[in-house]
Structure 1
Amino acid sequence: MDKSWMMIQDRLKSKEYLEGVQSFIEFATKNLGPQDEIRCPCVDCLNGTKFSRHVVRLHLIRRGITISYRTWVHHGEHAPIFRDHPSMRNDDTETNEPGMTDNHENVDELPTMLEEIYMSGLMDDNIDEERTSSERHNLLKFMKFFDDAQRKVYPDFFKDILPNCDETVPWTLYEVKKFLRELGLGYEAIHACKNDCTLFWKDNATLENCPTCTECRYKLNDKTGKKIPHKILRYFPLTPRLKRLYMSKKTAAFMTWHKDKRVDDGVLRHPADGEAWKDFDRLHPTFSADPRNVRLGLATDGFNPFGNMRRSAPGRDIDIYLQPLVEELTTLWEHGVQTYDALNGQIFTMHAAVMWTINDFPAYGSLSGWSTKGYLACPNCNMDASSQSLRSKIG
């Protein structure tokens, strides 16, 4: 169906636009049946409010249709399957000859994920009616991403040879970061004390000096006079990344493999076969009742929160830099977060728990706060350790 009329600006004087509006109304009438009201896709309503067809027609003529609403899912049109999009078809590899693989299996799932994100926001009609302008704006952004993701990708990725793509491809680092933030893949920059005493975060966010050692938060750039923090923790939030695992049907299926596909035959092949997992299930039956809840391992080897390998790692002060993660994990454990499961088309409350830490023995000491040297070096023996002095060392 030709939807080029949606881009026309001079709506009242354009015969093509008026005919396009009529074709939209007819399409909705044909697919939705004898409903008195339909969702209005004008630039103000954004499919959040239902009106009679006559009112919707007037809105579209006076206000214009949302140009990113290219797939009319609210009016009976099925969302396109990415692998069937014309730009991704490869007619030369359709035969299943020996040694050949189906290219569809390796196709980027971004458009499908964006579609699922968009659809997850439309699961409940009551939510739609009460959706704030900010939430509507986010849906509009995802609709634009979905449209952009289906554009053809050119093999030679250089700006001077890409035709008419300035509005699609981000050409600066700032634009790339902005795009990733809008997809929920950005990071939070948190200033830290130069002596690793505290983070300038939460209650300390506006302080100019460290509340512990009184060191100044900033160093001064003599060339520009701009305040530059001594240290910056770049924190990548965990929650949106866990939620994103359920936005793809493929990865959502992997998330419950331990429940749906694993064979419990007494052989240790997966963490779910181990005693730690089983003991956790016995202690926390509510958590284990939903296999979509996430169990995590925390690895700290090579952890450098400053983005600069020339700076020394925080060592025993690592707990300062783990504060954002600890707070996020506490929320995921105690309250959970509403998550859309693309595999089942459901919204559920996802919880998460850290079950393992992965590190060598010195890093274990820094992470846990337990001394790994001297008389109490063994975390299992604790106060009952049997030790013997060997010259200047404890054995």
Structure 2
Amino acid sequence: MDKSWMHEDRRSKEYEEFLRIALANAIDHRRIHCPCQRCGNTRKFTIRVIRKHLYFNGVDQTYKDWIRHGQPIESNGSKSVNQEPYLERDVVDETIDMFEGANEHFTENPDEFRKFVEEAEKPLYPWCHKHTKLSGLVKLYNLKARHGMTDNCFFDMFIEVGDLLPIGQELPSCMYEVTKKNVEKKGVPSKVLWHFPPIPRFKRMFKSFETSKSLTWYDESRIKDGRLRHPADSPSWKMVDHMWPDFASEPRNLRLAISSNGINPHSSLSSRYSCWPVILVTYNLPLELCMKRKFMILTLLISSPRQPLNDIDVYLEPLVEDLRILWDGVEGVYDVFRQQSFTLRAILLWTINDFSAYGNLSGCTMKGYYACPICDEKTCGKVGTWK
């Protein structure tokens, strides 16, 4: 008789009991130490994530006493034998977080990252086997944060600690070296572009059952009697169907519009600061959803002291590249409503903006001949007088 299911059931009960205790004693339910074999209590997650880690990776067998999850520490006197390693683990966690952050910072320059690691792994002073340069800095910073030291107090303490250490100690000689970054900054940038890639958000839309179903509403549920009720009844939509029938054959392909204009943030009427949001609108959805805030995707945010004017083309380059990728097709997009993967494509139907922004975005004349986008060459450029 196969008794493996009995072991699995017992292990499952042990995991759930552990999770119950961990949750009951957690200070922050969103950041609990994960004791799986992979994390080893060095990373923090929610209970839901930890449960998956335990079932897939198993528990760290060296973690006998659950001191990180509320189990009291057995002590023989005033100080526990296991208490010091527990306190040291907090420093390890801080060091790991700093290490991971540095790794992301130096992704494009691995040589600089290797030098950073070598510098951090140096002993705090010659023949020191307990602390490295990095762990020593982390300990001192923890002390500063724990007791709310001012910068001046911390700097004075830093100098005194350096004098107490043996010759050859690796602590920085001044506060500047402690806080300096490799990235040189000069002043405040006058022009800033925030880019929010739309492709991941389009993928998430198809992972929602109701939204995925609504994205083909225009093809499956729309009234088709020749009347103009939806953008799908417009000449632009029909022109796309005629020119690119392979694109039109997949109803999940997206038809988009771009809307942009300058605004004064924070209800300010001052003209000394300009902010231009660039928003994508999805027209596959029913009319009552097209203009809902939930489905209006902010893709770019251009902020600078002055309006971008015709230079807006430079700012739009990341979005243009996203649209090119969407036109070529993004493979492996999962449709949760139909439970299948497909290649997602998208096309830009039109732009929405006022007349002045129309000239910047489309490069059209805004005054004189050809000023009216409807009349075109029939536009009258004569100056008249009102009577």
Query: Is TM-score (shorter-chain normalized) higher than 0.5?
Result: no
Larger Rg: 1 or 2?
2
Choose between structure 1 and 2: higher helix proportion. 2
Question: Normalising to structure 2: TM-score of the pair?
Answer: 0.43
